[in-house]
């Protein structure tokens, strides 16, 4: 079973994603801040990280850079609003892919599965 880390400050969104991934035999951890996410990746090694670009305690690109520094071989999927320029910037930095909100859950699952297969 793979471990998916969801970094999302909107708990209701994180719960919806977790509810979709858990039946697919994925373990899911949720972090609501960048600090929580960094603590989790320091202790566990997630197989994929879903990262909301807007967090209350850190900029999305800063969090992306820090998570990549701690776990450079873990695919990071950025989840963002309509700011596609920012999303493209995250791809240049190191993100595996990005998904814009509101997202289609089937598409999100496909991107997660592609990220897992890329490992």
Range of the domain at 51: 2-117
Using alpha carbons, select from 47, 35, 39 the residue that is nearest to residue 3.
47
Query: Total domain count for the chain?
Result: 1
Tell me: the pLDDT tens digits for 39-87?
999 999 999 999 998 899 997 789 999 999 999 999 999 998 767 788 7
**CATH value at residue 76:** 3.40.50.2300
Q: How many other CB atoms are there within 10 angstroms of residue 51's CB atom?
A: 25
Confidence of residue 13 (pLDDT cuts 50, 70, 90): very high
Using alpha carbons, select from 3, 30, 4 the residue that is nearest to residue 108.
4
Identify the pLDDT of residue 89: 86
Provide the whole-model pTM.
0.93
């Amino acid at each position: 079973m793979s471990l998916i880390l969801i970094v999302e400050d909107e708990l209701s969104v994180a719960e919806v994603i977790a509810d979709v991934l858990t039946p697919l035999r994925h373990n899911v951890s949720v972090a609501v801040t960048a600090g929580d996410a960094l603590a989790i990746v320091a202790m566990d090694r997630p197989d994929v990280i879903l990262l909301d670009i807007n967090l209350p305690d850190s900029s999305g690109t800063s969090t992306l850079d820090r998570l990549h520094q701690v776990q450079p071989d873990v695919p990071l999927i950025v989840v963002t609003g309509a700011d596609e320029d920012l999303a493209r910037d995250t791809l240049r930095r190191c993100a595996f892919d990005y998904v814009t909100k509101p997202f289609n859950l089937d598409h999100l699952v496909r991107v997660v599965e592609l990220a897992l297969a890329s490992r």
